[in-house]
């Protein structure tokens, strides 16, 4: 598209200067032909203007955006076509956008909170009219002069429709990649969107404003997509330990992979942010994790862990959602043969061997449990080994690797002499339901749901194929149902 120059007339508007250019087109400051004011004139690229699908979608959304009237929304003044090229005239905001303010080091924490709170008002208002933004990011949050505690915040770029084939554009460099780092998982998967997609993008924006980087930053579009779809939600405290701890739980909710676990309204998210900074977050704070050495598998009797009974009763585990690395690519070693000469789950060795005795489990589940007892498992989990020599054990297990991650998720890899013993142990408990599934890494499994002590739900994953069939993976999660455990974990678990 040819760049318009100062003084040139387009659709009656007199061009003043170029404000910016991106993959969708260009934006100019222009003089209104009948009013003594400057407006922002956005011209869509000729290629997109020639696309019938894009034209129809643009016309519809521009019309909807033109009906919106809110102090936190950039007003749409007019729209049309000039020489077959689509354009939209909008309120010009003299000031700075969130991205530029961040780059200039002008983003103190309370300014970030203010920007997100005001943007949330705009989004909830638009959502009430059935309009989704779909491109919430710092660059689209405008701060009008004069700056200060009461500065006016406006959300821009409503009414600019997306191209038909987003999947190809997401792999291109430039603006689309920048937008990609704020896109919701369902948006990347091409699923039907609702308000929770914008909520997710607003959460990514807030994370960026506080930390200086998006939650899944990478130069590779595929790595960014993998982060949104599979990587664990990053913790603010790992980057900014000076921030209120309650924000970790707010971020975990707003960036949940499953939309059903997110906030429905942007205002609710903004309220929890404010409450967190005020020291009274409405988001629930999990109980302090109990050291792994004090917990026991559900499949072991109470005699093996007197101090563990109360701890396990709090609820325990969800097995993980991927490698402790945000860029795990797959279970390349999950089918690798163990180095032990035994065909069982690990009958060689003795309790004196300590954590090293778990080597077969480490090799079969390398992205789930750490290689050493002092290492970190998935999601920063701390792990230790519990040996199965007690005569009180109701199942003939060899050892169990018990892990607790940074979100108080607990998972256990329990090793047995052979598949028959593993099956026997699983069948010794009354299950409420079972279902056959294929894990993310291609293992055929049976997921069984149980209710443990104090009515705490948990699940057990059993394997049909050797050598994993000599193991069970037990999972529980405080204050969550077994269905939530399956939904939140199984589809992305590294097993």
* pLDDT digit string, tens, across residues 111-155: 999 999 999 999 999 888 778 888 899 999 999 988 888 899 999
DSSP 388-438: ---TT-SS-EEEEEEEE-TTS-EEEEEEESSHHHHHHHHHTS--SEEEEEE
Predicted structure pTM score: 0.54
Higher pLDDT, 80 or 478: 80
**pLDDT score recorded for residue 224:** 92
Query: Of the residues 135, 248, 323, 407, which is catalytic?
Result: 135
CATH class name, domain 9-91: alpha beta
Higher pLDDT, 467 or 302: 467
Higher pLDDT, 300 or 304: 300
Task: Give the CA count within 13 Å in the CB-facing half-sphere of 214.
Answer: 28
Higher pLDDT, 248 or 46: 248
Q: Which residue has the tokens 């008002």?
A: 121
Pick the CATH number of 95-278 from 3.40.50.850, 1.10.3480.10, 1.10.510.10, 1.10.357.10: 1.10.510.10
Distance from C-alpha of 198 to C-alpha of 135, rounded to nearest angstrom:
8
**pLDDT score recorded for residue 298:** 54
**Does residue 215 have a pLDDT over 60?**
yes
- Altogether, the residues listed in the chain come to a count of 495
What DSSP designation does 264 have? Answer: S
Would residue 124 show up in a list of annotated catalytic residues for this protein? no
**pLDDT score recorded for residue 386:** 82
**pLDDT score recorded for residue 406:** 67
Q: Kindly indicate the confidence band of residue 470, based on its pLDDT and cuts at 50, 70 and 90.
A: very high
Mean pLDDT (the chain) is 77
Q: Do domains 9-91 and 95-278 have the same CATH topology?
A: no
**pLDDT score recorded for residue 143:** 95
Higher pLDDT, 315 or 184: 184
What residue ranges do the domains of the chain occupy?
A: 9-91, 95-278, 292-492
Residues belonging to the binding site for ATP are 42
Residues in Cβ contact with 441 at an 8 Å cutoff, skipping those fewer than 6 apart: 330, 331, 334, 494, 495
**pLDDT score recorded for residue 100:** 93
**pLDDT score recorded for residue 291:** 36
Exposure string over 37-66, b if 16+ CB within 10 A, otherwise e: ebbbbbbbbeebbebeebbebbbebbebbb
pLDDT tens, residue by residue, 319-378: 222 333 333 333 333 222 222 323 345 444 344 468 888 999 999 998 888 888 878 887
pLDDT tens, residue by residue, 242-298: 999 999 999 999 999 999 999 999 999 999 999 999 984 344 433 333 333 333 445
Calculate the alpha carbon distances from 11 to 14, 26, 82, 365 in Å: 8, 15, 6, 63
Residues belonging to the binding site are 42
Residue 383 has φ and ψ, to the nearest 5°, of -130, 155
**pLDDT score recorded for residue 329:** 31
Instruction: Estimate the crossing angle of helix 195-211 against helix 266-278, to 10 degrees.
Output: 30
Task: Give the CA count within 13 Å in the CB-facing half-sphere of 346.
Answer: 30
């Amino acid at each position: 598209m040819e760049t318009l120059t100062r003084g040139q007339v387009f659709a009656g508007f007199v061009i003043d200067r170029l404000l910016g250019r991106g993959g969708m087109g260009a934006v100019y400051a222009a003089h209104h032909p009948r009013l003594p004011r400057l407006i922002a004139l956005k011209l869509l690229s000729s290629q997109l203007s020639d696309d019938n699908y894009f034209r129809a979608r643009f016309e519809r959304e521009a019309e909807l955006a033109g009906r919106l009237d809110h102090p936190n929304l950039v007003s749409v003044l007019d729209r049309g076509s000039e020489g077959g090229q689509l354009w939209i005239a909008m309120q010009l905001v003299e000031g700075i956008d969130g991205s530029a303010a961040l780059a200039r080091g002008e983003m103190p924490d309370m300014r970030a909170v203010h920007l997100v709170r005001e943007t949330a008002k705009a989004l909830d208002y638009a959502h009430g009219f059935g309009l989704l933004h779909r491109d919430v990011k710092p660059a689209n949050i405008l701060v009008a002069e004069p700056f200060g505690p009461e500065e006016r915040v406006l959300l821009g770029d409503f009414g600019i429709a997306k191209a038909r084939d987003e999947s190809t554009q997401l792999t291109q460099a430039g603006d689309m990649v920048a937008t990609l780092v704020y896109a919701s998982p369902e948006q990347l998967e091409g699923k039907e969107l609702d308000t929770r997609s914008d909520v997710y993008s607003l959460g990514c924006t807030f994370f960026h404003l506080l930390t200086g980087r998006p939650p899944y930053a990478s130069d590779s579009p595929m790595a960014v997509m993998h982060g949104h779809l599979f990587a664990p939600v990053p913790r603010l405290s790992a980057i900014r330990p000076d921030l209120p701890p309650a924000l970790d739980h707010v971020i975990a909710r707003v960036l949940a992979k499953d939309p059903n676990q997110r906030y429905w309204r942007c205002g609710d998210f903004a309220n929890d942010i404010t409450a967190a900074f005020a020291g009274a977050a409405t988001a629930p704070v999990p109980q302090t994790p109990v050291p792994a050495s004090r917990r026991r598998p559900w499949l072991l009797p109470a005699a093996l862990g007197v101090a563990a009974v109360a701890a396990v009763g709090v609820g325990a585990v969800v097995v993980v959602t991927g490698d402790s690395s945000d860029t795990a690519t797959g279970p390349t070693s999950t089918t690798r043969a163990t180095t032990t000469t035994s065909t069982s789950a690990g009958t060689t060795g003795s309790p004196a061997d300590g954590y090293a005795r778990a080597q077969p489990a480490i090799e079969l589940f390398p992205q789930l449990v750490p290689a050493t007892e002092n290492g970190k498992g998935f999601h920063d989990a701390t792990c230790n080994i519990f040996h199965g020599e007690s005569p009180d054990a109701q199942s003939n297990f060899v050892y169990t690797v018990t892990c607790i991650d940074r979100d108080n998720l607990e998972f256990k890899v329990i090793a047995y002499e052979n598949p028959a013993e593993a099956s026997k142990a699983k069948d010794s408990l009354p299950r409420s339901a079972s279902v056959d599934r294929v894990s993310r890494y291609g293992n055929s499994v049976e997921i069984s749901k149980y209710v443990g002590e104090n009515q705490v739900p948990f699940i057990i994953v059993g394997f049909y194929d050797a050598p994993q069939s000599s193991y069970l993976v037990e999972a529980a999660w405080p204050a969550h149902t077994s269905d939530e455990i399956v939904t939140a974990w199984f589809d992305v678990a590294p097993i």
